[in-house]
Amino acid sequence: MKKTAIPSYKEGVEKLEKRLSETFCQNALGAFNSDAERLSKEHLTILKGKVGDTAPNFILLNTNHQPVALYEVLKTKKVVLTFYRGTWCSYCNLILSQYQTVLPEIEKAGATILAISPQTPDESLNIKEKNKLQFEILSDNGNIVSKEFTTIHKIPERSLTKMTELGNDYDSYYCDEASEIPIPATFIIERNGIISFAETAGGDYRNRVESSEIINALNKNKSF
């Protein structure tokens, strides 16, 4: 079987930001980048779930409004658990698309992906279809599960205003109007429920955990 080429998020984001600079007005882009930089300074301790911890079980709805239980999935395979912001986030679309690219390598290592955000199941379906994702996208209403693994923060009013100006109705993506989302983070949960990998690229949401880091960790812990 041909080995999957592992994409580079760093290279992908350079191309993405070039497109964004051509698409968005500099005022809006400057506001978003300023918020990202502020978040990186405000949130230095992000991970709630640590390596060696037992992951809490959860049951969340998938894009078909069907319940998915973590520990049911763990009966047959490891789980790469990743938290993202939303369909409207270009960086989330990029990283989830790259995770889809390496899904064969992840499955070869005996694992699958569960991606979580506080979006509605219908909006989760939108990001799944948009990026042709073949793994479960789960809806965490109120960030109940996300709070167990990563830090939650409120979207600044300035960013919400800019999103509205760009034609995005932020609240329509989510189950509530709290304007709270998780700081992106990724975990590997072994079949015994133990977290063997816990990483975030920091509060700056433009940075994400590279696919290569996940693949290397899965292959390193094949006998875990």
Please give the positions annotated as active site.
Answer: 92
Residue in 157, 154, 147, 201 with CA at minimum distance from that of residue 181: 154
Rounded to whole angstroms, the Cα distance separating 82 from 71 reads 16
CA atoms of 194 and 140, how far apart (whole Å)? 21
Instruction: Quote the CA–CA distance of 152 and 84 in Å, as a whole number.
Output: 11
For 170-198, the three-class secondary structure string (H helix, E strand, C coil) is HHHHECCCCCEEECCEEEEECCCCEEEEE
Please tell me the distance from the alpha carbon of residue 3 to that of residue 106, in angstroms, as a whole number: 12
Among residues 63, 84, 86, 97, the alpha carbon closest in space to that of 160 is found at: 86
Cα 128 from chain centroid (whole Å): 12
